[in-house]
Amino acid sequence: MRDPAVTLTSLDEIAVCIAAFNEEKAVGRVVAGLREVGCAHVIVVDDGSADGTTQAAASAGAQVIRLENNRGQWVALKAAFGVALRTKVKVIVSFDGDGQHDPHAIPRLVEPVLTGRADITVGSRSTKNWYDRDEHRKFGIRALNLLMWGLTGHRFTDCTSGLTAMNANIVVQVLPRLVEPQFGRLEFWLESCKLGARIIEIPAPMRSNPRSHKGQLRFAANLVRTVARTRLGCSIKKDRVVGRG
């Protein structure tokens, strides 16, 4: 059921951005679900898929941009963010194309940003005990949360969540600073926190994805590498967020 505080008119002020790679079996349903809850602007960047991802997303009603080669999730997301900013929306949502995220979470996710209570809202899996069945993953996420707490001052519960709603003014300022092609989530948090972004987290329902087979040690190592490179390569002083609202 749609959150009564978020109207169809306000959902027209958001753009949902999806980076998709070989997701022809899921992305059409994802886009259709987003359209069903009232999201008028759904942008899918096909990151060089070898299957029918582009056709599936377009047939479901998304605006689709196709990259000729697989360049990395965050290259695709940044391309989607750029398109979203040109539509002059107020809020940009990052959303997974594999069916794990629930489109019905969107109204509650965007409400704090639309009303000015936050600059970024995170849909947190950890608050819903998403990782209780996977001790290695749960330990890794907790370790990264602690690392990011120490680096940013924000006490994350799920710093690797791909479900976020962001004030477009924050995205305008952060986007030119992002250089990581694949593991950009933590880079995004470091740069956003340097700007003093107000971040809140809310519980978000997630669906199981049996097709996900990420190598957890390699994944964690790349995330830590991203943090180290960003931390060493950038000034640690906080900048001021401009143009909130």
Q: Spell out the per-residue pLDDT of the chain, length 245, in tens.
A: 455 556 655 788 999 999 999 999 999 999 999 999 999 999 999 999 999 999 999 999 999 999 999 999 999 999 999 999 999 999 999 999 999 999 999 999 999 999 999 999 999 976 444 445 556 666 677 777 788 778 888 888 888 889 999 999 999 999 999 998 887 888 899 999 999 999 999 998 887 654 544 445 555 666 666 666 666 555 444 455 545 55
Domain assignment present for 239: no
Domain assignment present for 184: yes
Domain assignment present for 244: no
Domain assignment present for 38: yes
DSSP E strand boundaries for 175-243: 199-203
Domain region containing 138: 8-233
For residue 118, give both structure tokens. Answer: 């936050």
d(C-alpha 36, C-alpha 104), whole Å: 9
Segment holding 126, helix H or strand E = none
Domain assignment present for 243: no
Classified as helix, coil or strand, 165 is strand
Domain assignment present for 118: yes
Domain assignment present for 202: yes
Query: What CATH number has the domain bearing residue 162?
Result: 3.90.550.10
Q: What is the pTM of this model?
A: 0.83
DSSP class of residue 130 equals: T
Backbone angles phi, psi at 8, to 5 degrees: -60, -35
Classified as helix, coil or strand, 217 is helix
Domain assignment present for 2: no
Q: How many CA atoms lie within 13 A of 6 on its CB side?
A: 23
d(C-alpha 228, C-alpha 93), whole Å: 26
Domain count, the chain: 1
d(C-alpha 40, C-alpha 8), whole Å: 9
